[in-house]
């Protein structure tokens, strides 16, 4: 079944849900009810409100409507007729939507006694919805604007067979187990606190270790591929953002403040700073390509309603780079970045991707010719690699088209990750030049790119992909040492010292608890290895090895155990 047909089914199911709510809760005012990637939702202003416990009742009423098999009938009304109808129904949100429609006529759909403003399409009748399920309830501001009224958003999904629905619900349950917010607490990785503000991450020791392991790997890989490290301040005067265009196109997402009569902004991007590094001295065509890399901390104002754990935050770190190159080098550099992305993601356990090219948006800078050349360069690089992609019209950055690489996790979900943007426009704005082989000044081309996207978002995806059971090289704690009893504590300390001397991340669990309890605790904490220490192990200068995945693996000399950890870590296994 193609996506468009499934989308139509789910949009129809959202109407059935709204119809059911109207029947159960007279006076409900309707917002919007679109189909989305995994289902549908409807925003509703329900008198007295509802709770999650009310969803089964609504679902039961939906099934009554489905059994009634009402046809979906489309009509076109004059706007005045539509206004009169929805005004009489007390549907103020529909009146607001009608006011935004430029045409003189609007589409409405009828199913039984239910009438909704909608351009469609819909399926033939309500009875053609074979499998539907309501999933959850959330709050949503009308139009996503925080000063507007908070409505209730009911999420659901629909499929063309009960089997498909059951498989989806199974995946949903597995996703709940893997939720990085839940595992972040369970594994003591990070937390969020209202005292410091929404969308700002507080890393705990294990989370900070995981973050640094990711960042250190990224830095080493960049240096190995000829990138040079740079680092800029967290705040810059607004003048630089006016020059770059961010002030015009991105101001609503920036934190801006005034000090000593000058306006500053907290850095939402790293690109202006990198261009200033480029401009700090005269450049020659022989210098190219110039690849500047920064693990840059940036801050963006995201509305509190869209913040979501580590996946959508206000403060994050990008593994960001900008490549300055000659026009004839652009395609090769983009192709090299694509290879770099795939190489890095494979190390973290991701082997499948979705790829999109986003073209010029309505609000943008630069000439048509610049955008055409930049877009063609992205397409040519992917074509050379034999990589398929989807074109997203009008979704590019304001300064250039982009490639987005979305990684696919263990549950088949796509996560926004790497981005590669080809930019002919900002080098003009910043008057970037180089001396060509002809002795004249020329303009370089600029490639913006991030491999992991943001470390925070990548960590969230990584946690859910591995369900918190990180491979050995990434595990914040690689080994926990468990003395069998108090009298084995001293030997446990010897093991701890030896492991740490060999740069193995280890902890000693010397609590006054039974060994089996400690083993269960280590298993829950998803620590890759346990080193059990008792009389036999002390006498043989060994440890009884227990792994997270295989259980009891028998006794191993301490030196051999250390060698094994090093070998597995080096393999990134």
Catalytic annotation, residues: 271, 300, 318, 320, 322, 402, 448
Whether residue 32 contacts residue 40, with contact meaning beta carbons closer than 8 Å, is answered with no
Whether residue 228 contacts residue 291, with contact meaning beta carbons closer than 8 Å, is answered with yes
From 128, 91, 132, select the one nearest 111 (Cα to Cα).
Answer: 128
C-alpha dist (Å) from residue 147 to 50, 142, 144: 22, 9, 9
Main-chain phi, psi angles of 492, to 5 degrees: -60, -40
C-alpha dist (Å) from residue 533 to 35, 146, 478, 562: 57, 57, 16, 15
Between CA 476 and CA 15 the distance in angstroms is 48
CA 138 centroid distance within chain:
20
Whether residue 155 contacts residue 283, with contact meaning beta carbons closer than 8 Å, is answered with no
Between CA 407 and CA 388 the distance in angstroms is 14
For 462, other C-beta atoms within 10 Å of its C-beta total: 24
Between CA 115 and CA 118 the distance in angstroms is 9
Strands 256-259 and 228-229: unpaired
Between CA 494 and CA 558 the distance in angstroms is 10
Strands 315-325 and 290-299: antiparallel
From 71, 108, 102, select the one nearest 86 (Cα to Cα).
Answer: 108
For 504, other C-beta atoms within 10 Å of its C-beta total: 19
Main-chain phi, psi angles of 478, to 5 degrees: -85, -35
Between CA 527 and CA 507 the distance in angstroms is 10
């Amino acid at each position: 079944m193609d996506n468009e047909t499934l989308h139509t089914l789910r949009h129809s199911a959202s109407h059935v849900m709204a119809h059911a709510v109207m029947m159960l809760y007279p006076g409900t005012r309707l917002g919007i009810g679109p189909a989305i990637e995994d289902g549908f939702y409807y925003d509703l202003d329900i008198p007295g409100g509802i709770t999650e416990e009310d969803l089964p009742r609504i679902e039961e009423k939906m099934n009554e409507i489905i059994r009634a098999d009402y046809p979906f009938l489309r009509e076109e009304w004059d706007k005045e007729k539509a206004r009169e109808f929805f005004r009489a129904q007390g549907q103020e949100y529909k009146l607001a939507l009608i006011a935004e429609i430029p045409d003189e006529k609007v589409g409405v759909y009828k199913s039984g006694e239910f009438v909704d403003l909608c351009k469609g399409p819909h399926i033939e009748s309500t009875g053609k919805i074979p499998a539907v399920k309501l999933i959850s309830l959330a709050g949503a501001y009308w139009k996503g604007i925080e000063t507007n009224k908070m409505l209730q958003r009911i999420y659901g999904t629909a499929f063309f067979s009960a089997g498909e629905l059951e498989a989806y619900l199974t995946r949903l349950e597995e996703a709940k187990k893997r939720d990085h917010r839940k595992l972040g607490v369970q594994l003591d990785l990070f937390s969020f606190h209202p005292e410091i503000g929404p969308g700002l991450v507080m890393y705990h020791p294990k989370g900070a270790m995981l973050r640094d392991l990711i960042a250190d790997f990224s830095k080493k890989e960049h240096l190995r591929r000829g990138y040079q490290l740079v680092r800029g301040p967290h705040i810059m005067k607004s003048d630089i953002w006016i020059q770059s265009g961010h002030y015009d196109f991105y101001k609503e997402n920036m934190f801006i403040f005034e000090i000593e009569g000058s306006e500053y902004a907290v850095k939402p991007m790293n690109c202006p700073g990198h261009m200033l590094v480029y401009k700090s001295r005269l450049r020659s065509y022989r210098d190219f390509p110039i690849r500047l890399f920064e693990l840059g901390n940036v801050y963006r104002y995201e509305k509190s309603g869209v913040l979501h754990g580590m996946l959508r935050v206000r403060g994050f770190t990008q593994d960001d780079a900008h490549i300055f190159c000659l026009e004839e080098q652009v395609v090769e550099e983009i192709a090299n970045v694509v290879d770099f992305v795939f190489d890095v993601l494979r190390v973290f356990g991701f082997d499948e991707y979705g790829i999109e090219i986003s073209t010029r948006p309505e609000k943008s800078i630069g000439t048509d010719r610049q955008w055409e050349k930049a877009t063609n360069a992205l397409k040519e690089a992917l074509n050379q690699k034999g990589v398929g992609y989807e074109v997203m019209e009008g979704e590019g950055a304001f300064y250039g088209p982009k490639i987005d690489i979305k990684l696919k996790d263990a549950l088949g979900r796509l996560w926004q990750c790497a981005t590669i943007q080809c930019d002919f426009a900002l080098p003009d704005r910043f008057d970037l030049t180089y001396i060509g082989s002809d002795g004249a000044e020329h303009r370089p081309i600029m490639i913006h790119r991030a491999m992991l996207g943001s470390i925070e978002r990548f960590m969230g995806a990584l946690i859910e992909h591995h369900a918190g059971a990180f491979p050995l090289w990434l595990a914040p704690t690689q080994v926990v040492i468990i003395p069998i009893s108090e009298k084995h504590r001293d030997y446990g300390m010897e093991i701890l010292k030896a492991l740490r001397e060999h740069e193995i991340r280890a902890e000693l669990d010397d609590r006054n608890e039974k060994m089996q309890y400690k083993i269960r605790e280590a298993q829950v904490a998803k620590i890759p290895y346990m080193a059990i220490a008792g009389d036999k192990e002390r006498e043989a200068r060994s440890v009884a090895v227990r792994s997270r995945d295989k259980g009891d693996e028998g006794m191993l000399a301490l030196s051999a155990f250390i060698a094994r950890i090093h070998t597995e870590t080096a393999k990134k296994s």
